[in-house]
């Protein structure tokens, strides 16, 4: 048995043990806005439900280990103490991952990840239309756990409104675990979900900055063949491969098949003309 004294290792070393051992973790896809109304969207796997009466969800954006800076999500919540926590199902996991890219402040990750904004009923931030369940929340408390790299802030959220896609409800009107097909975060680049092969990998857009769904060529972005998840895979590259692209369903279907195998580069090769 290997034993680690947490006072004798770096935050980066600690998080490797914590995130790999404490898993799978549910994912909160959190939408916020600043006092000027600019929207931000980002996923957090330090997240769970902590009370049903009152209904309380808690998530924690951590300071960046490299320079101790805070996330835009936390900065927004300090200005506007509201948020929407959206669930992440398997069919939007690539889009959710793409939204974690560290875009500049003011960039709307809804657009980058190809998500659709839906106005909330009781809070200012919008909810994610593609999410199977969304929780409009007011922030009751912020609990700062430290000021060093990796330190979290507990965002204690009281749920005001719950929105659930009827496609995931059973005959009793309750959420069916298999139908909602939620994704859990594992360590490193791994995820798991509640159906089929439970372990899969997604390149995390942290070192590189994906161009985003909104920057895809129109022939690809408006294709009737690709799902939002597949567009997010194509958008998780640093630059567009080529200058002209095919606009026919046969080529798009071929590229789609390659994306199902995780071959993003091969899909781009099929799609480009030159």
Q: Mean pLDDT, to the nearest integer, of 183-201?
A: 81
C-beta separation of 84 from 120 below 8 A: yes
pLDDT (0 to 100) of residue 274: 72
pLDDT (0 to 100) of residue 250: 95
State the chain's mean pLDDT as an integer. Answer: 93
Q: Mean pLDDT, to the nearest integer, of 34-51?
A: 97
Q: Which residue has the higher pLDDT, 203 or 63?
A: 63
Structure confidence by residue, pLDDT tens digits, 90-137: 999 999 999 999 999 999 999 999 999 999 999 999 999 999 999 999
- What is the reported pTM? 0.87
What is the pLDDT confidence band of residue 206, given thresholds at 50, 70 and 90?
low
C-beta separation of 28 from 47 below 8 A: yes
What is the pLDDT confidence band of residue 31, given thresholds at 50, 70 and 90?
very high
pLDDT (0 to 100) of residue 119: 98
Which of the residue ranges 10-14, 59-63, 111-115, 229-233 would you say has the lowest mean pLDDT? 10-14
pLDDT (0 to 100) of residue 264: 93
pLDDT (0 to 100) of residue 150: 86
Q: Which residue has the higher pLDDT, 222 or 69?
A: 222
Long-range contacts of 246-254 (CB under 8 A, 24+ apart): 246/219, 246/270, 246/271, 246/272, 246/273, 247/219, 247/223, 249/223, 249/224, 249/225, 252/220, 252/223, 252/225, 252/226, 253/225
Half-sphere exposure of 241 (CA within 13 A, CB side): 16
Helix (H, G, I), strand (E, B) or coil at 139: strand
Q: Which residue has the higher pLDDT, 126 or 207?
A: 126
pLDDT (0 to 100) of residue 194: 73
Residue 222 has pLDDT above 90, yes or no: yes
Residue 199 has pLDDT above 60, yes or no: no
Q: Mean pLDDT, to the nearest integer, of 226-232?
A: 96
Helix (H, G, I), strand (E, B) or coil at 85: strand
What is the pLDDT confidence band of residue 205, given thresholds at 50, 70 and 90?
low
What is the pLDDT confidence band of residue 186, given thresholds at 50, 70 and 90?
very high
């Amino acid at each position: 048995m290997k034993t680690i004294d947490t006072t004798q290792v770096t935050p980066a070393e600690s998080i490797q043990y914590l995130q790999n051992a404490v898993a799978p973790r549910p994912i909160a896809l959190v939408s916020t806005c600043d006092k000027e109304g600019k929207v931000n969207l980002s996923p957090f796997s330090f997240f769970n439900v902590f009370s049903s009466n009152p209904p309380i969800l808690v998530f924690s954006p951590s300071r960046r280990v490299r320079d101790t800076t805070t996330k835009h999500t936390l900065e927004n919540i300090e200005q506007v103490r509201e948020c929407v926590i959206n669930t992440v199902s398997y069919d939007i996991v690539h889009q959710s991952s793409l939204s974690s890219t560290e875009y500049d402040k003011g960039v709307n990750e809804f657009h980058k990840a190809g998500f659709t904004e839906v106005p909330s009923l009781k809070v200012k931030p919008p909810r994610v239309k593609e999410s199977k369940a969304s929780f409009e929340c007011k922030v009751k408390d912020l609990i700062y756990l430290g000021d060093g790299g990796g330190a979290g802030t507990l965002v204690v959220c009281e749920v005001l409104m719950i929105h659930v896609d009827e496609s995931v409800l059973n005959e009793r009107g309750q959420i069916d675990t298999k139908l909602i097909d939620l994704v859990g975060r594992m360590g490193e680049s791994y995820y798991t979900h509640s159906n089929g092969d439970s372990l899969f990998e997604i390149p995390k857009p942290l070192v590189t900055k994906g161009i985003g769904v909104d920057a895809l060529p129109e022939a690809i972005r408006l294709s009737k063949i690709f799902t939002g998840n597949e567009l997010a895979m194509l958008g998780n590259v640093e630059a567009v491969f080529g200058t002209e692209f095919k606009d026919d369903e046969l080529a798009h279907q071929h590229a789609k098949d390659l994306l199902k195998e995780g071959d993003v580069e091969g899909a781009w090769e099929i799609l480009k003309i030159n």
